[in-house]
Amino acid sequence: MSISLLVLSGIVSFLFWIGNQMTPAPGTSSGNGNPAILLFLLLVPLFLVIVFHWVHLLKVYMVPAAWLIIGILVIAGHHILAFLYQYHRLEEYRNVIRQAIMDRGGVVEENYVQAITTGMSIHINNQFFNVNTFFMFLTASLLFAVLYVLLDVGDERKRSSAA
C-alpha cells in the first residue's frame, strides 16, 4: 500500500511539473484558454485515491487518536505557512512580469498585470503547479484521511457502546 502511495505521488508530481511547464514566459502573450485546467480533472480522482490509501495505512497501523490530532495541527500549520509563502511568491511573480514588460519597452498597466495574474490565467500556472503546492496537495490528502479515520473511529465507539 505504501508503494502505491509512492507511485501515485510520483504521478501527481509529474502532473504538477507539466502544469508548471505550461506557463508562458513573463511578458509574452499567450493563446486563448488554459490547457492546464485539464490537469485538475486528473488530479481530483488521484486525490481521492491517495486519500483512500492514506486511510488504509492509518487503519492498518492503528495510529492513536492523539497522534492523529497532532497531525491535524501540524498539517494546518503547514497549510497556513504554505498559503502565506504562495501569496508572497505571487507578488514576486507580478514584479517579474512588470519588469519583463518594461524590458520590452512596454508600459506597465497595473490592470493588465492584475488581470493576467488572477483566476485561472495561463500566466500563473507556475503559481498553481510548483513544489509548494505539490506538498500542499499531498498534506491535504493526508488531512482528509486523518479526519475520516478520526470520525470513523468515533462512529465505531458509538456503535460498540450502543450494542
| DSSP-assigned letters across all residues of the chain | -HHHHHHHHHHHHHHHHHHHHTPPPTT----SS-TTHHHHHHHHHHHHHHHHHHHHHHHHTT--HHHHHHHHHHHHHHHHHHHHHHHHHHHHHHHHHHHHHHHTTPPPPHHHHHHHTSTT-GGGHHHHSSHHHHHHHHHHHHHHHHHHHHHHHHHHHHHHHH-
CA distances from 140 to 80, 86, 134, 135 (A): 12, 15, 10, 8
Q: At 62, phi and psi to the nearest 5?
A: 45, 60
Statement: residue 1 has pLDDT above 90: no
Which of 2, 34, 63, 48 is CA-nearest to residue 126? 34
pLDDT, one tens digit per residue, over 42-87 is 999 999 999 999 999 999 999 999 999 999 999 999 999 999 999 9
How far, in Å, CA of 98 to CA of 105, rounded? Answer: 11
Q: Residue 104's closest CA among 7, 2, 25?
A: 25
**What pLDDT score does 32 carry?**
75
The verdict on pTM exceeding 0.85 is yes
Whole-number pLDDT of residue 106: 85
Closest CA to 137 of 23, 24, 17: 17
What is residue 30's predicted lDDT score, i.e. its pLDDT?
77
Question: Cα–Cα distance between 157 and 154 in angstroms, integer?
Answer: 5
pLDDT in tens, 105-154: 889 999 999 999 999 999 999 999 999 999 999 999 999 999 999 999 76
